[in-house]
Structure 1
Amino acid sequence: MQVARTLDAMFILAFFALCSLSEGIQRRYHYINMNKTWTEAQRYCRENYTDLATVHNINDMNELKNTVNNNQKYVWIGLKRTGEWKWSLGGPVKYLNWETEPSDNTNNCAVMRNGTWRQQDCDVASQFICYNDSSKAYIIDTSSKTWRDAQRFCRQHHTDLIKVRNQTDNQLIHNIINDPQRSVWIGLFRDSWEWSDHTDSTFRYWKSGQPDNYGGYEDCTAVDMNNEGKWHDVSCSDSNTFVCHEDELILIQENLSWTEAVTYCRENHVDLVSVDSQEIQLMVTEVLHHAWTAEVWLGLHHSCSVGIWFWVNGEVVCYQNWAPGNEAAVDNSESEVRSGAVQSGGDHLWISLPGSHKLNFICRRKEK
């Protein structure tokens, strides 16, 4: 494996270097000084950059304001009211089994009771079922928690709240519950607002009193540059200038071995991604939503010669995000070198796998 031998040599040269602070991968915003409806702006951003702007924190918001740097009244970003149901574990909602059709009220989480699903206020305490991807097992927990607390527990101790893909899954879970009077949280929830690129950023910067859905048709979000960049819900058919974002990472939905993924990224982009900071880990989680495989290759490789993990960029692994037991899950007597991948669901932890596994992978983009 020529790539592996070359990378081992790179690592040995850098082995005694101190861990340095990563420069990080900054999100790049582009202000487009053209007036378009929200849908037209979305189409433009997807054709020319990545998508309409997503904002993850106040630093992103300040960067966006600096990018616009004028007194436009309203500027589109990528947040839109949808009210769509989603799985906590990710992936499309293809199967539904409601007892009665869900209403538009605030009961935005789902329980299973007697084999069918019901809306329930997310703050109600209920029992719940976790899914463990490693053992492929369903684990019922008889303690009572709110939906968010149940989600947090499942992600910490297993993979996530359960996802019901089809009637077979539904019947299996119904059998596990085994009580027609018991209501149990499943991983289905509804978020009133969704980013255009489908990332799960919960950051909001609404002006006081917003969103108010005045007139019942204000389903899109604009930044008020005359009011400290605070957000308003406005009609999607309004015409405004807008901000696009350009991600530095790209998910490749092809199943390749680790070495093949390195070659692909280097030939078509920059390299397989090195996750050397929490900031880059967050960006990795953003692009995992559309992964076709349960794990996705990172630029993380084990050196048999020195018995330590390293990144394809030659840096020592300082920032750590391993699933329990995986950092040391390397037997140097194994004939096959192991590489690092990230879970596409759950808490997106790193795991050790034989490099011959065929997975999706994440590349650093070429600079434009």
Structure 2
Amino acid sequence: MKKTWTEAQSYCREQYSDLATAENMDDMNKLKDLMKSAGYGNIWIGLQRTNQNEWHWSSGDRVIFQNWEPGQPDSTAECATMKEGKWNDVECSDTNTFICYNRSSQLVFVNQKKNWREAQSHCRENHVDLVTVRNSIENQELERIINDNQKYKDDVWMGLFRDSWQWSDQSKSSFRYWITGEPNNIGGNENCVVINTMHQGSWADIRCDQQISFICQEDKLILIQQNLTWLESMGYCRQHHVDLVSVDSVEMQRRVGNVVKRASTEKVWLGLHNFCSMNMWIWLNGEVVCYQNWAPGNGIAPEDCRLEWRKGAMESGEDHHWISLPESRKLNFICTN
């Protein structure tokens, strides 16, 4: 079908979940496989320009730690470097050395001067991506590697950049895959994004009113906006879908966090229950809780199960922390499909 971006978004939300989001190269490779049947041309995905210019990591991680030089960022520049352990905003067209990370999370100093986009491409082709800094310890490690490999105190690219693009499904993914020279916003109104089959699936910005084909996505996480107890929620999921969701990784936490924002209750049931006699939290899929995101005071101390069993819920607010609650509370819940 050929539709405008807004028409395509409406169709995908009615028939599936939303217009397609690409969160990493694995997603892009799936989109490229789908494109093979589309012939040549442009295909809508779910990325649209907004009025908010936000900082992101190239890896897709959220920006939860910052270490700007005093007075920075101080311009409209959209990329960031590290110099003597502090961050600075600079023009993405500048050329600097840079640091990648590989699949074992080792950092690799690349002693070649490239602009930010070229550095990003080099890291993705030869390693995984430009480096992400999530806390002060990682910041110190990055500073150490730069000092060990650099004779002069010059700027070094990190994976930090900012833009005003937002995914239709409200995903916080900062993965970008632009064609060289894009986005260029010709005419000042190219506010929607396509993947281009003639450029190996790389992206371009075009006008949103063009009528072209599009790709939808079907989320495997289903928010049920009914208020049920934990046991009732589990029964509903097992009857209509698969089970209550288990959040066993940072990636799944992020995915569930994207879904839970649409809940009509302040907390949402997860497939998390307390094995009281051993003071142990277990997921319905059988896994012991390893990755954790408990709110302060939750999930640590022994639970008092004399009156009622305790189950795990996620806050639908910004931090999406986990909360221990009596199983009789009636909440929205998330099933896996």
**Shorter-chain TM-score category?**
0.5 to 0.7
Q: Does structure 2 retain, via aligned residues, the 8 Å contact 1:330–1:338?
A: no
CA positional deviation for 1:122: 9.0
Q: How does 1:48-59 map to 2 (within 5 A)?
A: 48-59=15-26
Aligned residue for 1:43? Answer: 10
Q: Does structure 2 retain, via aligned residues, the 8 Å contact 1:329–1:352?
A: no
Taking the aligned partners of 1:209 and 1:289, their CA distance within structure 2 comes to: 35
Q: How does 1:56-135 map to 2 (within 5 A)?
A: 56-70=23-37, 71-83=39-51, 123=73
Aligned residue for 1:141? Answer: none
Q: Does structure 2 retain, via aligned residues, the 8 Å contact 1:307–1:332?
A: no
Q: Decide which moves more: 260-269 or 223-232.
A: 260-269
Write out the 4+ residue segments of structure 1 that deviate beyond 6 Å after TM superposition.
Answer: none
Aligned residue for 1:361? Answer: 333
Distance of aligned partners of 1:40 and 1:346 in 2 relative to their CA distance in 1, 3 Å threshold: closer
Distance of aligned partners of 1:210 and 1:220 in 2 relative to their CA distance in 1, 3 Å threshold: same
Taking the aligned partners of 1:44 and 1:331, their CA distance within structure 2 comes to: 46
TM-score (norm 2): 0.63
Q: Does structure 1 retain, via aligned residues, the 8 Å contact 2:48–2:167?
A: yes
Bigger relative contact order, structure 1 or 2 (CA pairs below 8 A, ≥6 apart): 1
CA positional deviation for 1:335: 1.4
Distance of aligned partners of 1:290 and 1:333 in 2 relative to their CA distance in 1, 3 Å threshold: closer
Aligned residue for 1:133? Answer: none
Q: Does structure 1 retain, via aligned residues, the 8 Å contact 2:53–2:164?
A: no
Report the residue type matching 2:295 in the other structure. Answer: A
2:317 is equivalent to residue 345 of structure 1: yes
SS at match of 1:233: strand
Report the residue type matching 1:350 in the other structure. Answer: W
Q: Does structure 1 retain, via aligned residues, the 8 Å contact 2:179–2:203?
A: yes
Taking the aligned partners of 1:122 and 1:47, their CA distance within structure 2 comes to: 44
Unaligned runs of 5+ in 2: 55-70, 76-86, 89-133, 136-161
Q: Does structure 1 retain, via aligned residues, the 8 Å contact 2:272–2:311?
A: yes
Taking the aligned partners of 1:333 and 1:224, their CA distance within structure 2 comes to: 57
Taking the aligned partners of 1:355 and 1:333, their CA distance within structure 2 comes to: 11
Distance of aligned partners of 1:274 and 1:228 in 2 relative to their CA distance in 1, 3 Å threshold: same
Report the residue type matching 2:265 in the other structure. Answer: T
Q: Does structure 2 retain, via aligned residues, the 8 Å contact 1:219–1:235?
A: yes
Query: Kindly, what percent of the aligned residue pairs are identical?
Result: 54
Q: How many residues align?
A: 238
Unaligned runs of 5+ in 1: 1-33, 87-120, 126-144, 147-151, 154-189
Which of 223, 246, 258 lines up with 1:286 in the alignment? Answer: 258
TM-score (norm 1): 0.58
SS at match of 2:178: coil
CA positional deviation for 1:42: 1.7
Taking the aligned partners of 1:364 and 1:246, their CA distance within structure 2 comes to: 12
SS at match of 1:341: strand
Q: How does 1:23-34 map to 2 (within 5 A)?
A: 34=1
